[in-house]
A and B are shown apart, each in its own frame.
Chain A
Amino acid sequence: MAFSKTLRRLVLAAATFAATSPSYALDLSGQTVTVLVPFGEGGGSDTLARFLQPFLKDALPGKPNVVVLNKPGGGSVTGVNGWVGSAKADGTDILVGSTSSWVPFVFGSSTVKYDPSAMRPVVGFPRVSVFYTNPERTGVKGASTKQGVDELRGATLLKGAEAPLSLDTGDLVALHMLDIPHRAVFGMSTSEQRRAFLNGEVSANNDSLAAYLDITKSEGPERVSPLFVLGGVDGNGKAKRIDGLPDVMTFEELYEATNGQAPSGPEYKTYQVMHYLRTNLAKSIMLPPGTPDDIVTAYVTAFQALERNAKYINGMKANLEVESFVYGQDMVDAFAGISGFGAEERSAVEAYMRETHGVALK
């Protein structure tokens, strides 16, 4: 009697389970998803993670508890190293990927113990940026033309850069390819570069579209003139313009307009890799290497479903400056794009740094 009762309950439970189990292979109910931010509190990645936290909680199958874990140190390398080593491939550990983590990988830093192309990207949040100059310092307005470049060749641009081997290397190489005389001040963070441009201490800067629009609004066209845009790279490896600034050329178009042929060679390859890093790979959500396809799919589905949530879209686009949402093959392509920085590119950058800036990279 007692036995059959137990049996009946078991059968009932099994039937209920079968009927209610979700169509995803992934069920995170009762679990905790840890979002790793490889930086301390504050800053872009942390803000993004904390913004996503409540949305993810509702969007993921099983409505898991979602927590943000900050692991600062080593300019984000420490956090990502640790994450790759310890993250479980069951969908409970995700990473906020950002440019800062991929740049040291591209430059072959010995401390990096991860390969981003082995990770499983879920969604990318590309940003776009604008390279602009200060006409008050250069005497050149409307620089994004062949004539503008010709005139700029008579001036010397002063630009801040984080380090000789950094994201900003791409901008410097671009100026070099355009034959625009320039000097670099190394060791400046993004916000220090912005401030120095505002103060008129440097005459060129590369910043996000939102920051560019803001600075144009407050300073006026007399002090801000766009040279070229970095609107991201499409699936064919072609640089895109920015919809909001249709008249400003990409670096590739500007180069072709001035030199009559498309850019090529290891220096251009360097620029292109930095372009991927700065735009397509600005921010992303990653699952650890070895995560099964069905879990990746469940995550992608959850993020795609979020796009129907107006509150999420508004926050991402208006507040967090996210241009678009990129999934699947496009993300894989972007990571493939940064593999282009090899030995030839490195020695080209070393030669350029030595000859133009007198900096030895050893």
Chain B
Amino acid sequence: MFDPLVSSLAIIANTTHLLMLTTGVVLGLIVGVLPGLGGSAGLALLLPFIYGMDPAPALAMMVGLLAVTTTSDTFPAVLMGIPGTAGSQATVLDGFPMSKRGEATRAISAGLVSSIFGGVIGAIVLSIALVFAEPLLRRIGFSEQLMLIVFALSMVGMMTGTSHFKGLASCGLGLMLGAFGAAPITGVERLGFGTEYLIEPIPMIIVGLGLFAIPEIVSLARQQTAISESGRLKAGWLAGLRDWKNNWWLSLRCAIIGCLGGALPGIGGSVIDWIAYGHAIQTTKNPERYGTGDVRGVIAPESANNAKEGGALIPTLIFGIPGSGNMAILLGGFILIGIQPGLSMIRDNGDVVYSVVWSLALANILGAGFCLLFARYIAWLTTIPYLLIAPFMIGLIYFASFQATRGWGDLVAMFVLGILGVYLKRFGWSRPALLIGFVLAPQIESNVYRASTIYGWEMFTRPIVLVLIGLTILSVVSVMRRRVPESVHKTAACTYANTVPQKAFFILLAGFAAYVFTDGFGYNFLTGTFQVVAGGASLVFMVPLGIQLFLGSRTSCHFDEEGALEAHGVRVSGEHYVAVLAFFLACVGLFGFLVGAGFFIGAFLVWKARVRVHWAVMSGAAFSLFLFFIAYQLNLQYPTGLLNRLLPFWP
């Protein structure tokens, strides 16, 4: 039955095919490394040229592109703390601290090797699954999906940080943010505040960047060092390879998690890296070292996120039902080359189908190979004084957020969530827990309703459901056993004398939860219930947290980074940089995004980094030019400003 596996090798082993594959890979690497752009933006570029092409090379190009976006996105995640795509959010957690220690090269090489490995495992699993997986996939109904989500949610327990109540309340906050936008069951607009922007949920990419990238930029800019705190870059190319070798078993497990997560409906691709990360904490020694720059925290998500694409191809090829957003556009490509995915295609066109498998494996190897070539040079970025990099990063992040709905609303949402992220970081709220809650919120809502409508209590008699419940219990037990006990650290952040700011922030969040909770009662049952539950759950965790915070002194929930920063002699306040972020919006509002971003960069370099004016002007112009080039290639229309309205010729 694996005959096509061999005969398809002949299809891909020719020059045209390899050339197409390489083209796809290079394009994929480029869109992967640019924050906010993912596989779908790249694939859309190819679509006009696909129609009329031979199926096999066209497929090679598309698969090559999709396979490697999660390879190159390791660069911004590790080097800059910016998750380039949703798949690399967890990589930031340990990859970026490694860069701060000067170990960027090591982190990247470990990440890339994991990517190759994960990608190849994904291809192998895909090749087997195409033959065997169909009956299993048919058994994954709504009750199984619900249990998968509950299982994924149990990973939150591994990411609560030092205060468990604060961690759980963070997750509740995520659930509440996930409730914004039209209700998934009834389509009724909910928590929209009358805006057109909030008809749809808050875009995932913006939440990810706001929570992880913006706070890092602000805190690095305040400390005014290079990313690598010593200003040097340790050699670590081979160390990364060794790291992977020592953790190959973890890497394999995470790759399998990635395949499963990609193939099974319900969870959605964007939490898979977090599940792998949580799994790593649960199953390895010294769990307390994660988050401080442990290389295993890079290997786990990077193995999973490349394996995910192979997994997502399984339902896409077997049923013609997209396994992810990327797969939806790949299906569009299939349609244009005249391929109707489905069981009959696997039977009749085995060669073509298996050429996808080969292309996937080859693309992963090629992609990571290219990246390895450049890794050493790109890693030097971490030794440059951060104030020189910061304005470009701010520009890039706003650019990335703009990809969500291509409008002003994205920039504003980015700004608001960025502020939230800055204070969550400052007061030690768990951003990973929040993110998991946010991503799973709509899934929880839909699947609780679907499973209970279709099955009622009967869902607990289904075999796969029982297995998943067992797994979840195991996971929860391991959380209980392995969690670090809540102890009061004598760090400067925990003993910071002025507790007013963190109390004020708490009151703000509690007020928000109370609003979401009560507002939910104003809707009909199917629309408002989730909101009530999310707000209520948050309040349940916030009440004991509040008691600790206000009545206890020096308890584990007290945390204010200012304490640590003051000890380091940091003068510039976080609010100052929030104002800088607002200044960016002001520039865009005046000049439009294209010119405004360049102007902002120039101004920042002059006033903050004390760069000479002509260099600053050239840097700003170069960035605007870069934005123009991307807009030209991808056909984007940037948000316009006042001058665009007044002067018709203004770019």
In the assembly, what is the distance between CA of A72 and CA of B40, in Å?
13
Complex interface: chain A residues within 8 A of B47 (CB): 46-47, 50-51
**Chain A nearest CB, measured from B483 CB (Å):** 35
Looking across the interface, which residue of chain B has its beta carbon closest to that of A194?
Answer: B321
Task: Please determine whether B450 and A185 come into contact, CB atoms closer than 8 angstroms.
Answer: yes
CB within 8 A of B40: which of A41, A73, A200? A41
Looking across the interface, which residue of chain A has its beta carbon closest to that of B447?
Answer: A187
Complex interface: chain B residues within 8 A of A201 (CB): 141-142, 454
Complex interface: chain B residues within 8 A of A40 (CB): 40
Complex interface: chain B residues within 8 A of A43 (CB): 328-329, 332
**Given A166-B187, A194-B321: A42 and B328 within 8 A (CB)?**
yes
CB within 8 A of A198: which of B319, B328, B340? B319
Q: Which one of A9-17, A297-305, A311-319, A325-333 contacts B?
A: A311-319
Q: Which one of B90-98, B195-203, B291-299, B472-480 contacts A?
A: B195-203
In the assembly, what is the distance between CA of A183 and CA of B637, in Å?
45
- Scoring B residues 333 to 348 as 1 if CB is less than 8 Å from chain A, else 0, what string do you get? 0011110101110000
**Given A43-B328, A163-B185: A111 and B405 within 8 A (CB)?**
no
Among A67, A77, A195, max chain B CB count under 10 A is at: A195
Task: Please determine whether A73 and B407 come into contact, CB atoms closer than 8 angstroms.
Answer: yes
Number of interface residues of B (CB under 8 A): 61
Complex interface: chain A residues within 8 A of B329 (CB): 41-43, 46
CB within 8 A of B199: which of A51, A68, A78? A78
Complex interface: chain A residues within 8 A of B200 (CB): 73-75
Task: Please determine whether B406 and A41 come into contact, CB atoms closer than 8 angstroms.
Answer: no
Complex interface: chain B residues within 8 A of A315 (CB): 51-52, 336
Task: Please determine whether B185 and A319 come into contact, CB atoms closer than 8 angstroms.
Answer: no
Task: Please determine whether A163 and B319 come into contact, CB atoms closer than 8 angstroms.
Answer: no
Task: Please determine whether B40 and A164 come into contact, CB atoms closer than 8 angstroms.
Answer: no
**Given A78-B407, A186-B185: A42 and B321 within 8 A (CB)?**
no
**Chain A nearest CB, measured from B201 CB (Å):** 11
Q: Does B186 contact A (CB under 8 A)?
A: yes
Complex interface: chain A residues within 8 A of B450 (CB): 185, 187-188
Task: Please determine whether B340 and A41 come into contact, CB atoms closer than 8 angstroms.
Answer: no
Q: Does B322 contact A (CB under 8 A)?
A: yes
Complex interface: chain B residues within 8 A of A180 (CB): none
CB within 8 A of B338: which of A166, A318, A362? A318
Q: Does B140 contact A (CB under 8 A)?
A: yes
Interface residues of A in 176-222 (CB under 8 A from B): 183, 185-188, 191-192, 194-196, 198-202, 210, 214, 217-218
**Chain B nearest CB, measured from A274 CB (Å):** 15
**Given A42-B328, A50-B48, A74-B197: A186 and B265 within 8 A (CB)?**
no
Among A69, A70, A200, A311, max chain B CB count under 10 A is at: A70
**Chain A nearest CB, measured from B40 CB (Å):** 4
Can you add 17 more A-B contacts, CB < 8 Å, to A41-B329, A73-B407, A218-B343? A42-B331, A43-B328, A46-B44, A47-B47, A50-B48, A54-B48, A75-B199, A78-B196, A78-B405, A183-B453, A185-B450, A187-B446, A195-B315, A196-B142, A214-B320, A319-B335, A359-B186
* A-B CB proximity, top 5 nearest: A42-B329, A163-B187, A73-B405, A41-B44, A47-B332
A-side residues, CB < 8 A to B, are 40-44, 46-47, 50-51, 53-54, 67-75, 77-78, 81-82, 111, 158, 162-166, 183, 185-188, 191-192, 194-196, 198-202, 210, 214, 217-218, 311, 315, 318-320, 359-362
Provide 14 A-B residue pairs closer than 8 Å at the C-beta atoms, listed in order of the A residue: A42-B40, A42-B43, A44-B332, A47-B332, A50-B332, A71-B407, A73-B405, A78-B196, A78-B197, A158-B454, A192-B265, A196-B142, A201-B454, A319-B335
